[in-house]
């Protein structure tokens, strides 16, 4: 019995689009906060280093050239790392919002798992995007290993949206 992965796209529903917009807004605010903190630290660290050198009695501890060079290096590192993180994560969510498309993929259940401590039910599936999904107790009892379950996720960011 061969099983070919069924995969197709559909437009996002209003609630899913709203979820993505809220997530994008929340993450964008978080990026701005982190970048402001990194910029602040880019100035504080060289300043603290100058005071440490002055405490040790180093000549010319408050060198403007050394201070601005250190600030420039730290700002460059902070800017580059924030930009790369933005391109990898936030940009994908923005592309999902722009395109308004979700992927629906049919998978087989490879394993069922109940975690008593959390009172949660999970299906392990053979998807390349999602290893396991949390399901309702009714679906956990109704379905068995080898059955098919369809998952929905955003096209670019691969954010999980649900199952049926």
Domain spans of the chain, in order of start: 13-99, 101-163
Whether 22 shows a pLDDT value over 90: the answer reads yes
Given this model, what pLDDT does residue 93 score?
Answer: 93
Q: Looking at the predicted structure, is the pLDDT value of residue 58 above 80?
A: no
> What is the model's pTM?
0.73
Does residue 94 surpass a pLDDT of 70? yes
Q: Categorize the per-residue pLDDT at 4 as very low, low, confident or very high, splitting at 50, 70 and 90.
A: low
Per-residue confidence at 23, pLDDT binned at 50, 70, 90?
Answer: very high
Q: Is the pLDDT of residue 2 over 50?
A: no
Query: Domain 101-163 class?
Result: mainly beta
Q: Say whether pLDDT at 7 is over 90.
A: no
Q: Which residues contact 17 (CB under 8 A, 6 or more apart)?
A: 97, 100
Q: Are 30 and 22 in contact (CB under 8 A)?
A: no
């Amino acid at each position: 019995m061969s099983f070919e992965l069924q995969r197709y796209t559909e437009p996002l529903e209003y609630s899913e689009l709203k979820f993505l917009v809220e997530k994008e807004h929340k993450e964008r605010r978080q990026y701005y906060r982190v970048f402001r903190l990194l910029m602040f630290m880019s100035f504080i660290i060289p300043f603290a280093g100058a005071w440490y050198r002055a405490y040790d009695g180093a000549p010319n501890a408050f060198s403007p050239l050394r201070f601005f060079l250190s600030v420039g290096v730290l700002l460059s590192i902070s800017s580059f790392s924030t930009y790369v993180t933005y391109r990898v994560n936030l940009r994908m969510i923005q592309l999902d919002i722009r395109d308004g498309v979700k992927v629906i993929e049919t998978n087989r259940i490879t394993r069922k798992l109940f975690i008593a401590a959390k009172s949660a039910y999970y299906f392990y599936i053979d998807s390349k995007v999602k290893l396991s999904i949390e399901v309702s107790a009714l679906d956990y009892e109704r379905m068995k290993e080898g059955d098919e379950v369809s998952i929905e996720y955003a096209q670019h960011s691969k954010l999980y949206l649900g199952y049926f």
